[in-house]
Amino acid sequence: MRSILQAARVGTSELEITSQLVQTLITSSPTPTVVFLGRDMTVGLINDAMLTIWGKDESVIGKTLHEAMPELVDQPFLGLLQHVYDTGVPFNNPEGRADLYVGGKLETLWFNYSYNALLNDAGEAYGVINTATNVTEQVRSRKRLEEAEEVLRAAIELADLGTWQIDLRTGKVDYSPRLRFWSGIAPDEIITLARENNHVRPSDWPGIRAAFAAAIEPGSDGIYDIEFTIEPFDGNPERIMHAVGNAFFDEEGIAYKIWGTMHDVTQQRQQQRAQEWLVQKRTEELAASNDALKATVDELNEINKRLADTNEKARELNLRLGEANRDLTRSNENLQQFAYVASHDLQEPLRKVQSLGTLLSDRYGAKLGDDGMNLIDRMVRAGRRMSLLIDDLLSFSRITTRRAAPSPVALGDVIAEGMENLSALMKETGGIVEMENMPTLEGDRTQLVQLFQNLLSNAFKFHRADVTPLVHVTAAHISAEALPAHVKPARDAKSYHCITVADNGIGFDEKYLDRIFQVFQRLHGKSEYAGTGIGLSICEKVVHNHGGAITASSRVGEGAQFSVYLPKRLHESEI
């Protein structure tokens, strides 16, 4: 080692590097150090720490950098060393990359290294001293942390979350870009605790403050979990937000920071409310059905009691009718859960009641007298009404539980089929149907036939005396923006088919408009017009199943007009 340094001293006796003290300092230093001599960067002095990094021994002394470390040929180090040698300007590179052989394998390492020119008394460079600190583990750790943070950011972005954090010591609040947008805060606006949620619904603030205080309370689990509403502002919609966070505590148990995420759960809550409303509506409909059935059963029981007092000879028959009525009552109680099956089971005892009533009339009519015959007639008519009610309930159940896959349906054919089913009623009343511009749309053909058949049936049934029933069916195309304010389709669409069924019948008072589509709601007595009050409920259910809406308008004595709005798909025919 000394011979190399002495060779460098020729003509430069002032070089301090040759002193025994400097050599001792370098060789004993824990900091990896190497001294290069000359512009070709010949290794003049190197300590053990640097030899360890290089993976070499003292045989590298006297060799140039590239002779000692061939793997550095295509790396920038020689050029950097020569620039320091030529200019005398020091060079420092924190976390500089170097590809070195470690255990016979080329690996990428990182160092904090520096180059400083060695000058003689004349200010001339004769070498460069290089010190380095291996920071590979720190760099790798930082890169792993950066990768983890990037993965976290990607996950947050994928989950459509906003992030937030509050420095409790300084009061500084930071929101992610998405959360700033939701909260109406500009990208460069400074957020304060007073500003962070100025659009939050006032009634939600007490709960927010209580949850925040609980999260940062010393000794708590630090969990912050709250839902609140951001009210509409500047054209932005109302948002229901779910905020989750975690407080961080110092060694003294004092919270110094709270960090978390926020999620827009508006759609989920709206769907939840819609489902709750639907369950409530179904419950009310079933309750109404049960009440109507119970009233009918009570009426039949009363008739049975009065028949028992009419004639001793009818006692055995009445006992059988009572058993049939008990069977019927049990079936009615199960209708709420098994509407379709129960409707079929109930038909048989009703037929028996009517048959036995007819048989009783034929065999014992003369003995029963006018009062007895009147009771039998009432019994038979009540049985018929019960049968009609069950048929309508069965139809209502089918509309609710059986839905075929949508397929192209020509409404002209649908209405024609409904007219065919009503041919007897049309002949009886002399009813006339006019229709034009009927479109083709996607839907359940069976349900659509039931819809328009019921509307036509009502038009013929509720006609004015001595006036020929005339029904006019038309169709038009209407955009969502042009829908009447009171029309709320079950499914949003850009445009709708509007099918209008207008008649010249007796009409109705529009103050009853909210009642006519409810189950078992009738505007006329049973003696005036036949029916169960389910027909329009079936219409409303079919329209709802197809994502539409139905409404009506009328004046007493001037006919009624029913308007059906069905969503129009892009590929459906124009009208």
Taking the C-alpha atoms of residue 269 and residue 275, their distance in angstroms, rounded to an integer, is: 10
Helix, strand, coil percentages, rounded to 5, for the chain: 50, 25, 30
Residue 9: pLDDT band by 50, 70, 90 thresholds?
very low
- Structural contact between residues 409 and 542, judged by C-beta atoms closer than 8 angstroms: no
Give the span between the Cα atoms of 104 and 299, in whole angstroms.
102
Predicted confidence at residue 41, as pLDDT, reads 95
pTM of the model: 0.37
CA dist 417 and 420 (Å) reads: 5
pLDDT of residue 343: 59
How confident is the model at residue 15, as a pLDDT? 43
Confidence at residue 2, expressed as pLDDT on a 0 to 100 scale: 35
- Residue carrying structure tokens 């059906």: 564
Closest of 267, 265, 261 to residue 155, by C-alpha: 261
pLDDT in the model for residue 19: 56
CB atoms within 10 A of CB 265: 14
Write out pLDDT tens, residues 510-531.
777 777 776 655 555 454 555 5
Q: What is the DSSP string of 314-380?
A: GHHHHHHHHHHHHHHHHHHHHTTT-HHHHHHHHHHHHHHHHHHHHHHHHHHHHHHHHHHHHHHHHHH
- pLDDT tens column, 200-253: 888 888 898 899 899 999 999 989 999 988 888 887 888 898 989 999 999 899
405 or 451: which leads in pLDDT? 451
Tokens of 506: 């007796």
What mean pLDDT, rounded, does the chain reach?
Answer: 80
Evaluate whether 441 touches 497 at the Cβ level (below 8 Å): yes
**Does residue 452 contact residue 501 with C-beta atoms inside 8 Å?**
yes
Instruction: Write out pLDDT tens, residues 253-288.
Output: 999 999 999 888 888 888 988 888 988 888 888 888
Give the C-alpha separation, 384 to 47, whole Å: 113
Q: How far is CA 458 from its chain centroid? A: 41
Between residues 122 and 394, which one has the greater pLDDT?
A: 122
- Please report the pLDDT score of residue 66 as a whole number: 94
Q: How many CB atoms lie within 10 A of CB 324?
A: 18
Q: pLDDT of 85-110, one tens digit each?
A: 999 999 999 999 999 998 889 999 99
Backbone angles phi, psi at 109, to 5 degrees: -125, 165
> Residue 468, Cα to own-chain centre: how many angstroms?
53
Pairing relationship of beta strands 432-435 and 470-479 according to DSSP bridges? parallel
Pick from 509, 483, 507, 486: nearest CA to 497: 483
Handedness of CA 168, 169, 172, 175 (dihedral sign): negative
State residue 548's pLDDT score: 93
Q: Which residues contact 507 (CB under 8 A, 6 or more apart)?
A: 554, 555, 556, 557, 558, 559, 560
Percent of the chain with pLDDT over 70: 74
pLDDT in tens, 132-170: 999 999 999 888 877 776 766 665 666 568 888 888 888
Q: How many residues are given for the chain?
A: 575
Model pLDDT, residue 575: 45
**What is the structure's pLDDT at 190?**
80
pLDDT digits (tens, 9 = 90+) for 462-511: 888 888 899 999 999 999 999 998 888 988 999 999 999 999 988 887 77
pLDDT in tens, 328-383: 455 444 444 555 555 556 656 666 676 777 777 677 766 767 667 667 766 765 55
